[in-house]
Amino acid sequence: MEKIKRLSAIFKVLFQIGFILQPVAEVFYWLNYPNAQYASNHFFIGGGESGFAILHAITLQDRLLALSASFIPLAISMTMLVLLIKLFDNFSKGLIFNPVNISRIKHISYLLFASQLFVPIHQALLSIILTMGNPPGRREILISLNADNLTMIISAFIILMIAWIMAEAYKIYEEQEFTV
């Protein structure tokens, strides 16, 4: 149990660092987003040939709009980090099987699932924002899901299943506690 407590405390700190760094990194990324005027005047986003071409200089307005479009996935991710921080704080205290942890694990799975459903919407928003300055006929909208998204959706269901199993285990534990 001491090993679990120690490792959980380390993960808690890592999640806290991630909670601080993630919004800073997002703002830094969009404010320092590269200008597209290199690599033969094409800059592809979203996975090489399946991405979209930015054929113009990225303005500050484009960067700020793209940052704004990134707030929803950022909020989902930060909410997951808060839940993970609280969950691993409980684990570091030796509180493993309890209704609060089970609820947090369920919420993490719901957020993971929601984050993957939002991916195509986020991609579409970014593609619209970043290609609006392209010449007419070269503006694009990208909507796609790939194997990574499917893997994350399956992972969300597996995490939800683990939470349900933990809930059943907790019920059995409670019944045994009251059995004389």
For the chain, domain boundaries: 2-178
Categorize the per-residue pLDDT at 37 as very low, low, confident or very high, splitting at 50, 70 and 90.
very low
Integer Cα distance of 133 and 44 in angstroms: 15
Q: Residue 44: phi, psi to the nearest 5? A: -100, 135
Q: Say which residue, 139 or 123, is predicted with more confidence.
A: 123
The whole model's pTM is what?
0.82
pLDDT of residue 138: 81
Helix (H) or strand (E) holding 52: strand 52-53
What is the rounded average pLDDT for all residues in the chain?
87
Over range 79-98, report the average pLDDT.
Answer: 95
pLDDT of residue 59: 86
Kindly report, residue by residue over 58-76, the tens digit of the pLDDT.
Answer: 888 999 999 999 999 999 9
pLDDT of residue 49: 46
Q: What are the structure tokens assigned to 90, written together?
A: 């409980």
Question: Which residue carries 């045994």 as its tokens?
Answer: 176
Kindly report, residue by residue over 129-142, the tens digit of the pLDDT.
Answer: 988 888 888 888 88
Q: Is 69 exposed, middle or buried (0-12, 13-18, 19+ CB in 10 A)?
A: buried
Taking a C-beta distance cutoff of 8 angstroms, is the pair 93, 43 a contact? no
pLDDT of residue 51: 64
Q: Taking phi first (over 0 means left), then psi (-120 to 50 degrees means alpha), and beta for anything else, what does residue 71 get?
A: alpha
